[in-house]
Amino acid sequence: MQTECITDQFEFEGFERRRVIAAFDGGRMTSDAGALLLRQADRKIGLIERVAACFDDGRAQEDVVHSLRTLVGQRIVAIALGYEDVNDHDELRHDPVLALFSDKGEPRRSDCAALAGKSTLNRLEHAPAGGNGRYHKIGHDGAAFEALFVDLFVDAHGRPPKRITLDLDATDDPLHGQQEGRFFHGYYGCYCYLPLYVFCGRHLLAAKLRPSNIDAAAGSVEEVERIVARIRGRWPKVRILLRADSGFAREALMAWCEENRVDYLFGLARNERLVAEIEAALAEAAAEHGETGAPARRFKEFFYATRKTWSRHRRVVGKAEHLAKGPNPRFVVTSLKASEIDARRLYEKLYCARGEMENRIKEQQLDLFADRTSAASLRANQLRLWFSSFAYVLIAALRRIGLAGTRLADATCGTIRLKLLKIGALVRLSHRRLHVAMASGCPYQRTFAAAHARLARPPG
């Protein structure tokens, strides 16, 4: 990252009778040369252009210095590179590599940096929903954002898959101020938001910010209905399985799935009636554990309905497990028939794979600052969550397209940033080219070269 020249020097312990002096006087340099790969990944999926199209620009275009595309690209890429705060952009706007994300066609003042500063980006983050207004000249279309996540997912597939699994989960987003929609959540023990995420493997399909004074499944029917309709608009024959923990085993969601040809597999909170159903299996598991000392488990399936809330009996699979600490019964409810998948595989292979979604949420929350929701309004914080989510989509595209077959093929977003994006470089600008001279000692040169080659391939 380039900064204004600082004349002060920093002296360190000498080495071999030489003084060791450091200063911020390197000139045109960057610490984010790997952003070039993000630029190539963006060209592959058209992310920045499509996100910018979800905004409404009511500014007088003849006076515009930084186009919407520049503002959107700058914000998304900076988050991907680890700069979560808009305050960082007063320096980042001068970075010679990040400048490549500016819009070539924008009318730029000769005395203005290639990218925007914190004040301009702050106005972007507070763009009102439903179009621009008298005091906010940039607005946004929330429905367009939500549709774009699904479109990007579908576009990532060369041919329609036969079946897909959509994972739903809610998590806590702790708050430390007086944000709109702030409530105390008893389970998490803090004031927080309760965002809803929908993933299909590593693909993010929805990131909905919600207040925390609601049930975890609140609004899930509407989200699933919207996503499924858009997927089936492109893939009418795909079979869809909805998977989630016990917080989503609600009558409304299960009934909707049954009426709309969507399979489901949900965890089911245990109670006395459920435990009684697998009492014999629990006894067998306990006896085996007593003989071997190792964990023992049995599976039993049966049809079950709650006394008041469910409209029908449904297939339930119980895991009767005994561990060193004692019995550990678990239950799932599903629309899948026993003829399709037996009880053990249903639980161990299909349901337990749901845990992988938690890793995706950690990438969002920890690596890409999805929990940076410190704006006063819920609307602005939702926009921040979407920017973070699109940064995830961009790095995920780099991972999927550019890093397949490399040692970073399964790396997290944070690891990809550290190993491949944070590369120091000297930038030389001439009349005919911009030469980014990256650090010769970078240990991931081969991975960088492989990613570049894959991203440079023409489609098809």
18 inside domain: no
Same domain, 208 and 234: yes
Would you state the pLDDT for residue 439? Answer: 92
Would you state the pLDDT for residue 43? Answer: 95
Same domain, 116 and 185: no
Same domain, 205 and 347: yes
Last residue of a domain, one of 324, 350, 367: 367
Domain CATH number, residue 256: 3.90.350.10
Same domain, 72 and 108: yes
236 inside domain: yes
Same domain, 325 and 399: no
Same domain, 117 and 181: no
DSSP state of 349: I
Same domain, 247 and 332: yes
Element (H, E) at 69: helix 68-80
15 inside domain: no
27 inside domain: no
Whole-number Å distance between alpha carbons of 10 and 392: 37
Last residue of a domain, one of 367, 385, 401: 367
Same domain, 190 and 262: yes
Would you state the pLDDT for residue 430? Answer: 85
Same domain, 331 and 275: yes
In terms of pTM, does the model score above 0.75? Answer: yes
Last residue of a domain, one of 367, 392, 409: 367
Same domain, 118 and 226: no
294 inside domain: yes
394 inside domain: yes
Number of structural domains the chain divides into: 2
Same domain, 282 and 393: no
Whole-number Å distance between alpha carbons of 229 and 416: 33
110 inside domain: yes
Q: Let me know: does 373 contact 384? Beta carbons within 8 Å.
A: yes
Q: Let me know: does 220 contact 226? Beta carbons within 8 Å.
A: no
Cα–Cα–Cα angle for 101, 383, 104, rounded to 5 degrees: 20
Same domain, 311 and 397: no
DSSP state of 459: P
Half-sphere exposure of 216 (CA within 13 A, CB side): 18
Give the DSSP per-residue string, 154-206.
HHT-SS--SEEEEEEEE--EE--S--TT-EEETTTTEEEE--EEEEETTEEEE
295 inside domain: yes
What is the residue-level pLDDT of the chain in tens, covering all 460 positions? Answer: 555 544 588 889 999 889 988 888 788 889 999 999 999 999 999 999 999 999 999 998 888 889 999 999 999 999 999 999 999 999 999 999 999 998 866 555 555 688 999 999 999 999 998 878 777 889 999 999 999 999 999 999 989 999 999 999 999 999 999 999 999 999 999 999 999 999 999 999 999 999 999 999 999 999 999 999 999 999 999 999 999 999 999 999 999 999 999 999 999 999 999 999 999 999 999 999 999 999 999 999 999 999 999 999 999 999 999 999 999 999 999 999 999 999 999 999 999 999 999 999 999 999 999 999 999 999 999 999 999 999 999 999 999 999 999 999 999 999 999 999 999 999 988 888 889 999 999 999 999 999 999 999 887 6
Q: Which domain holds residue 51?
A: 33-135+376-423+439-456
* CA distances in angstroms from 263 to 20, 25, 143, 201, 258, listed in the order given: 65, 61, 25, 17, 7
